[in-house]
Amino acid sequence: MMTSRLRTAAFLKSHQNPDGGWGYAPRRRSLVEPTAFAVLALQAGNETAAAGRGLGFLRTCVTPSGAIGLDPRDTEGNWMAYAALLAFHALGAAEEERRVKAWILAFEDASGRFSRSDIAEISTRFRYDASIPGWAWTPRTTAWIEPTALFILALRGAGVPAADKRIRSGIALILDRRVPSGGWNFGNPFSKGYELEATAMSTSLALAALGAAGVAAKRPEVAAGFRYLEGELDAGISTASLAWMLLASRHYPGIARRASGAASLLASLQAGDGGFRDNIFETALASLVLEDAASLKPAAGRIP
């Protein structure tokens, strides 16, 4: 009987593209995020040859400036850089790690481009502070919860201190955009006076980022976020959200009371061929989280 990790490795290796990368689904074009996570999962399982070929694909995607986006043709760079940084760090690709990290730390969102009146209008209509820098899906656009959380996870995983000003700012953005009744959505807690609903994926990622930055468990936003997620667990939660929730739970064992149940549920979603929903990224992410892999763990350091 193969272990879960071996089945995951078999699934990933059987779907590796000739260029060394993976798409989100089998037989799809290679992209940075699924490739980086497949590389991390294979490396964690000591499948170094397949991981090395994946790393080779990722190297072809890095521009001299350190920007990295969807694939080798994408020269502007985008949110997928977070995943590449995690992979370069885990596999010891020091030069690529240095360049991509520098690009991420210099990433410009739209916060510096808003006028005072823009910021005032956004504050009135959507009730958040648009002047706080975070990370966007694409450069020079508005920062949102999920890309900000993903970049914080990657930077902390790559050893950037929690006290770094970009990380502190990202954490401030996440806390500022919380939904008052608990949890987070994409980043608009309100629209024209109406509170907008939280979502499981945004909440899971926000809590994982707060945990990676060492934000204290006593913060009310943390407890409210987990209360929201526990309700979602009962209602039904997606594979990726469940995995991110489990990652977040590891930082807050005293609050995340249902972490073991979440782990069992996630493990039960693995198909016979080793995949999760026939999705490369979700398979690798679930495997890494279930195995409590070192590559998704942050360096030491806290924000009080």
Looking at residue 186, the DSSP 8-state letter turns out to be: S
Interatomic CA distance for residues 189 and 206, integer angstroms: 13
* Shortest distance (Å) from residue 176 CB to other proteins: 17
Bridge partners, 194 (sequence order): 191
Build a one-symbol-per-residue string for 10-49: x at contacts with other proteins by CB under 8 A, - elsewhere.
-------------xxx--xx-x-x----------------
Cβ atoms within 10 Å, residue 14: 11
Q: Is the CB of residue 162 less than 8 Å from the CB of residue 214?
A: yes
# chain residues binding other proteins, by CB under 8 A: 43
User: Would the CA dihedral through 219, 221, 224, 230 be positive or negative?
Assistant: negative
113 binds other proteins per the rule CB under 8 A? yes
Torsion of CA 188, 190, 196, 198, to 10 degrees: 50
Please, what is the minimum distance in Å from the beta carbon of residue 184 to other proteins?
11
3-state class of 84 per DSSP? Answer: helix
Q: Per-residue string for binding with other proteins, 85-104, x by CB under 8 A?
A: --------------------
Does 142 interact with other proteins (rule: CB under 8 A)? yes
Question: In the bound complex, what is the minimum distance in angstroms from residue 24's beta carbon to other proteins?
Answer: 5
Asked if residue 118 binds other proteins (CB under 8 A), the reply is yes
257 binds other proteins (CB under 8 A): no
- How many Cα neighbours within 13 Å face the side chain of 170? 40
Site string for other proteins, 172-201 (x = CB under 8 A): -------------xxxx--xx----x-xxx
Q: How far apart are CA 195 and CA 241, in angstroms?
A: 22
Give, as one character, the DSSP assignment of residue 295: G
Among 17, 141, 227, 250, binds other proteins (CB under 8 A): 141
Q: Which residues bind other proteins (CB under 8 A)?
A: 23-25, 28-29, 31, 33, 70, 78-80, 110, 113-115, 118, 136-138, 140-142, 144, 146-147, 185-188, 191-192, 197, 199-202, 236-241, 277
